[in-house]
């Protein structure tokens, strides 16, 4: 057995194999505890994704995974909210943080021997904000301008 295959069973999406690949790594610090809004606790995380990019938000999909993982390990109960911060959102404490809550078990997806515990549906609340946008512009003579990527000038 090669080193990668021993963990492969933990990275399988139950419905879509295209989602069964590693795209994001989170480094988290559970000692930075700033709970708010009736939550039981808080965590700070730095999300690296794609090609060494860093997300400025706590990242909704990552917060969902962290809630589900904590629930599977028995560290959260149904209805117990937790605050998730990034380095950027931590500066504002309230704005930019996400609140993650295990909402209900999804036993129809449970696979014994593969999953750590019962799957759970997670509720994430919070806001993420646009920081910019990009427009591609091409000259009329550009042979690659056609195809929907560019506005021709």
**What number is the average pLDDT over the span 27-42?**
79
Output phi, psi for 45, to 5 deg: -140, 150
What is the domain range of residue 72?
A: 5-152
Residue 84 · residue 68 · CB < 8 Å: no
Residue 40 · residue 101 · CB < 8 Å: no
- Rounded to whole angstroms, what are the CA distances from 135 to 31, 50, 148, 150? 41, 21, 11, 7
pLDDT of residue 100: 94
CATH number, residue 79: 3.10.310.10
**pLDDT-derived band of residue 1, with 50, 70 and 90 as boundaries?**
very low
Q: State the pTM of this model.
A: 0.71
How many structural domains does the chain have?
1
């Amino acid at each position: 057995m090669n080193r990668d295959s021993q963990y492969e069973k933990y990275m399988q999406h139950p419905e879509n194999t295209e989602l069964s690949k590693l795209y994001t790594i989170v480094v988290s610090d559970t000692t930075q505890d700033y709970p708010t809004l009736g939550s039981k606790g808080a965590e700070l995380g730095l999300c690296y994704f794609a090609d060494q990019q860093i997300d400025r938000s706590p990242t909704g999909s990552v917060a969902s995974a962290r809630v589900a993982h904590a629930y599977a390990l028995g560290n959260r109960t149904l209805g117990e909210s937790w605050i998730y911060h990034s380095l950027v959102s931590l500066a504002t404490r309230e704005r930019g943080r996400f609140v993650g809550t295990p909402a209900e078990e999804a036993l129809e997806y449970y696979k014994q021997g593969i999953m750590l515990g019962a799957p759970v549906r997670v509720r994430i609340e919070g806001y993420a904000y646009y920081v910019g946008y990009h427009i591609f512009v091409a000259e009329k003579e550009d042979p690659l301008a056609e195809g929907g990527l560019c506005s021709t000038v």
